[in-house]
Amino acid sequence: HHSIILHHFSTPKSMTLNSIQSKMTTLLWVKLFCFFSAAEALSQQLKRRSFFAISLGSLTIPQSPAAAEGNEKIIDGVTVYKTTSGLQYIELEEGSGPSPRYGQLCSISYTGYLQLPSEKKKEKFDSNIFLLKHGNGRLIAGLDEGLHTMKVGGKRRIIIPPKLGFVDIGLGPIPEGPFARNKLNKLLDKMVEKRGGNLIYDVELRLVRDDEADLGYYDDDSLTEEQQKRLLENVNGGGLKDTSSMEGIEA
């Protein structure tokens, strides 16, 4: 009876020790997996930055709304516009509303693709509705530039070279789901491996409106002659004459 009782109480103890050992082994493998995954991700990120740094060597400032006029070509009966930054776009449907101004909020619907060099088929990685602030630097440069000349209600295919795409962490739009994000990451790695390719966005500009919390952006319009004259008067002291009587109070 005593041996049976001892065996009865010793079994859970051995099972507990085995369980702890098993859990520690599993935890060790998980940590190793996370370490090597992080190392691989860092390696891929460094490769991307190196590739995009070379591409950014020829980056130019995005163009004004009329910059693409006169720089166009016909490909298979379709007019393709190109700006000096290397951005290309096709006007699928011209809108009838206003064009976005820097600092305004824009609502767009888009479908994103990536096309690798020497491949005719483009890979879809995302499709969504996205709200952005135009010109705040958190959108990939090519998409921000392509939107600037659109009109509300318009549809456009924007073809973005690597230097105007995901050149750094934190730029959007990023796919919401983990599988779509993983697909985009793999496609970007292939772009680096093949040293080329284009992002392609089919975009519809749905809405443009002012941001009530806007802290101020440079306007797209140049100053009128009257505004220039008033500015010069203020700079030269013309606008300070009415305050001369304050000198005695300040003293």
Higher pLDDT, 232 or 159: 159
DSSP one-letter string for 110-133: EEEEEE-TT-SS-EEEEEEEEEEE
Report d(CA 174, CA 132) in Å as an integer.
Answer: 12
User: Which H/E stretch holds residue 31?
Assistant: helix 2-55
Whole-model pTM?
0.66
Q: How confident is the model at residue 151 (pLDDT cuts 50, 70, 90)?
A: very high
Of 120, 124, 104, 144, the closest CA to residue 199 belongs to 124
For the chain, give the mean pLDDT. 77
Q: Which residues pair with 157 in a beta bridge?
A: 90, 202
Compute, in degrees rounded to 10, the torsion defined by CA atoms 180, 186, 189, 193: -140
- Across the beta sheet with 123-133, what order do the strands follow? 72-75, 78-82, 88-93, 155-160, 198-209, 105-115, 123-133
Q: For CA atoms 40, 42, 44, 47, give the dihedral sign.
A: negative
HSE at residue 17, side-chain half, CA atoms within 13 A, is 4
Report d(CA 242, CA 245) in Å as an integer.
Answer: 7
Higher pLDDT, 49 or 5: 49
**For the ranges 2-16, 84-98, 232-246, the one whose mean pLDDT is highest:** 84-98
In three-state secondary structure terms, 88 is strand
Q: Which amino acid is at 84?
A: T
Report d(CA 85, CA 58) in Å as an integer.
Answer: 8
Do 115 and 170 form a contact (C-beta atoms < 8 A)?
A: no
In three-state secondary structure terms, 79 is strand
Structure tokens at 16: 């507990």
Q: Where are the beta strands (DSSP E) in the chain?
A: 72-75, 78-82, 88-93, 105-115, 123-133, 155-160, 198-209
Given phi > 0 = left and psi -120 to 50 = alpha, else beta, which region is 109? beta
**Average pLDDT score over residue span 164-183:** 92
Q: How confident is the model at residue 38 (pLDDT cuts 50, 70, 90)?
A: low
Q: What is the pLDDT of residue 8?
A: 47
**Average pLDDT score over residue span 126-152:** 95
